[in-house]
């Protein structure tokens, strides 16, 4: 069997060694003829659950196909070839559950019900002195299966959240030319280091693309401004200045102004205004002055 280091580490955490594997296989041999009955009893339970009509089809052919897949699942379970392929098959089930958005409580309740059914059958097939030992091994493997499925669901959900966050970040960082030579960036929500980096990259790229001379960053929609946020915003303005673009931060409310003073944040030469309108007026005046200067005799732009 092909076992990666990750598989070996996980098996060790769940205390699934050769002895436990042998016990699971022994339980499987005892229950070989009972698997169809166990699955039928399981579906008798499942049909009574309110989620059945939402996530499962009551079509006879579909139900038979799903029961056949269940048979394959538990056959592999009791065969207990705990290698990379086995782990991948359990994670695949997690991916399916994530795709159909099956609630975790339904899955966990299903595993609990199957365990109870298997446990009941074991008591009728195994020697009384061996039942507890067999059940303990089976339980460990069921815990492992449950973990693999839920961990895959968690990873997929995490990837969806990251993708959604990136989409929102792109939508919430619209560096837009609003006038020839003037860029506007209205910021909303929370500003953190990763978002600041994204803002800086998009802003500098837009400045290079449009050759803008004025950059207005409106922070009236920012959730909170502390020392870290203020310093990050000042870094952005300094980066734009290095590209020959003057920056103006608008949306400085009385509370934000007081916070910056109390925190001792040095805004340096950064221009600030209370409103976006004031920032745009200042930007247009500054742009006019820059154009006037560029047309003076002796200026290189002449």
Whether the predicted model's global pTM rises above the 0.85 cut = no
Integer CA distances (angstroms), 142 to 111, 120, 125, 149, in order: 7, 15, 20, 11
| Cβ contacts of 22 within 8 Å, gap of 6 or more | none
How far does Cα 150 stand from its chain's mean position? 14
* Architecture of the structural domain at 5-168: Orthogonal Bundle (1.10)
Give the span between the Cα atoms of 205 and 236, in whole angstroms.
Answer: 12
pLDDT at 275: 92
pLDDT at 298: 53
pLDDT at 137: 97
Along the chain (302 residues), what's the average pLDDT of each consecutive run of 10 residues? 90 96 97 94 88 67 83 96 96 91 91 96 95 97 97 92 67 78 87 79 92 92 78 87 92 82 72 91 83 53 42
Beta strands in 130-202 (DSSP E): 176-179, 182-189
Give the span between the Cα atoms of 151 and 115, in whole angstroms.
Answer: 20
Domain boundaries, the chain: 5-168, 176-294
pLDDT at 32: 94
pLDDT at 301: 43
> Is the CB of residue 141 less than 8 Å from the CB of residue 80?
yes
Place of tokens 């004025």: 214
The b/e string for 32-67 (b: 16+ C-beta within 10 A; e otherwise) is eebbeebbebbbeebeeeeeeeeebeeeeeeeeebe
How far does Cα 201 stand from its chain's mean position? 23
Could you give the residue ranges of the DSSP H alpha helices within 172-253? 193-210, 227-242
Give the span between the Cα atoms of 107 and 46, in whole angstroms.
Answer: 11
Same fold, 5-168 and 176-294: no
Give the span between the Cα atoms of 133 and 153, in whole angstroms.
Answer: 31
pLDDT at 23: 97
How far does Cα 194 stand from its chain's mean position? 15
The two structure tokens encoding residue 215: 């950059």
Instruction: Let me know if domain 176-294 sits in CATH 3.90.1300.10.
Output: no
pLDDT at 76: 96
């Amino acid at each position: 069997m092909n076992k990666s280091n990750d598989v070996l580490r996980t098996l060790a955490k769940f205390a699934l060694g050769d002895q436990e594997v042998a016990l699971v296989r022994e339980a499987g041999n005892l229950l070989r003829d009972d698997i169809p009955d166990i699955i039928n009893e399981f579906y008798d339970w499942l049909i009574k659950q309110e989620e059945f009509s939402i996530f499962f089809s009551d079509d006879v052919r579909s139900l038979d196909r799903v029961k056949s897949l269940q048979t394959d699942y538990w056959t592999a379970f009791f065969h207990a070839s705990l290698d990379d392929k086995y782990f991948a098959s359990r994670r695949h089930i997690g991916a399916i559950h994530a795709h159909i958005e099956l609630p975790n409580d339904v899955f966990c309740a299903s595993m609990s019900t199957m365990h109870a059914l298997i446990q009941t059958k074991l008591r009728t097939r195994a020697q009384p002195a061996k039942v507890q030992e067999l059940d303990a091994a089976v339980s460990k493997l069921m815990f492992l299966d449950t973990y693999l499925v839920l961990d895959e669901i968690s990873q997929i959900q995490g990837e969806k959240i990251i993708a959604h966050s990136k989409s929102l970040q792109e939508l919430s960082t619209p560096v837009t030319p609003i006038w020839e030579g003037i860029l506007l960036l209205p910021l909303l929500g929370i500003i953190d280091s990763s978002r600041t980096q994204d803002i800086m990259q998009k802003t500098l790229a837009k400045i290079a693309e449009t050759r803008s001379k004025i950059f207005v960053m409106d922070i009236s929609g920012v959730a909170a401004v502390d020392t870290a946020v203020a310093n990050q915003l000042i870094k952005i303005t300094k980066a734009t200045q290095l590209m020959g673009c003057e920056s103006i931060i608008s949306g400085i409310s009385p509370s934000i102004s007081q916070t910056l003073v109390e925190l001792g944040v040095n805004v340096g030469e950064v221009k600030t205004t209370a409103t976006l309108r004031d920032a745009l007026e200042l930007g247009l005046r500054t742009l006019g002055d820059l154009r006037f200067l560029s047309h003076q005799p002796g200026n290189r732009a002449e």
